[in-house]
Amino acid sequence: MTTHTLSRRSFIAFSAMLPWALSARAAKSIPAGLELYSVREELKKDPAGTVRAVAEMGYEGVEFYAPYFEWSEAQTKQMRKLLDDLSIRCFSTHNDSSNLSPEKIGRARDFNLILGSKYVVMASAKPQPGLDGWKTVADALNAAADQLETSGLKAGYHNHRLEFTAVDGQRPMEILAKNTKPSVMLQLDVGTCLEAGSDPVAWIHANPGRIRSLHLKDWSPEPEKGYKVLFGEGAGEWKNIFEAAESGGGVEYYLIEQEGSRFTELDTARRCLQSFRQIRPA
């Protein structure tokens, strides 16, 4: 029998590699879901059938957008059962700002708990003019975060082009990042960040640990294309974005989102996932 021994120097070197190996392994386990706005027309016609089709494509989860808020409690429970039967998750929900208001946050909390969501994400904020208006949005996010955290949920904010367009020399996203609690997720919509002329990689590096999910929406500067491109066909430097998100951004899950393409909604979702797997192999 041959006995293998490990010298002290080799053991130290091997031990130093372990955190890297474990972090690399963890990075590869980051799930990919679909923002269901990508298949919004199909979802209107047949919610259950659409979610089933998305699961069959290989998506590991979904993000429901604003109409989920109008479901009944029974419909919400039926959807959760379907998700469980399909072995996929609801990572988060995409909400109008009013859903996180004091008047509505209780319903948002209850429905997100039923769905098994972790993040209640505010989008489409309607601030008052100027930078002070964005500070008011930050205050509302902090208040919502306090309400949600008692139930194990977290608040988030989803940017559009507006938040990366400077107001009085400062981008509103910088105001939101500076004035919200660290627990508030800054969900990065890559496409609208690109369209506004901002660098998504630089933004991720500037906000370590807070970019816990990304909308992988591609965008082309060609006027006839814009958002109507498949993932990987636009201006996004995806390998650099993934590296930044996984090396310090704090990403927990990815969400593919496209606003349309030359293909049908479901075919677009399928092709985008295939492209994602080629660019970022598991």
Residue 208's Cβ-side half-sphere holds a number of Cα atoms within 13 Å equal to: 3
pLDDT at 4: 40
> Does a structural domain hold residue 270?
yes
- CATH number for the domain spanning 164: value is 3.20.20.150
Number of domains in the chain: 1
Between CA 92 and CA 31 the distance in angstroms is 13
pTM: 0.89
**Burial level of 75, CB count in 10 A (0-12/13-18/19+)?**
middle
> Does a structural domain hold residue 273?
yes
> Does a structural domain hold residue 5?
no
pLDDT at 27: 44
> Does a structural domain hold residue 76?
yes
> Does a structural domain hold residue 269?
yes
* Phi and psi torsions of 215, nearest 5°: -90, 115
pLDDT at 11: 37
Nearest to 265 by CA among 34, 35, 42: 42
> Does a structural domain hold residue 12?
no
Tens-digit pLDDT profile for the chain (282 aa)? 434 444 444 333 334 334 433 444 344 589 999 999 999 999 999 999 999 999 999 999 999 999 999 999 999 999 999 999 999 999 999 999 999 999 999 999 999 999 999 999 999 888 888 999 999 999 999 999 999 999 999 999 999 999 999 999 999 999 999 999 999 999 999 999 999 999 999 999 999 999 999 999 999 999 999 999 999 999 999 999 999 999 999 999 999 999 989 999 999 999 999 999 999 987
The domain in which residue 73 lies consists of 32-279
> Does a structural domain hold residue 263?
yes
Distances (CA, A) of 229 to 22, 104, 188, 278: 35, 36, 18, 16
> Does a structural domain hold residue 10?
no
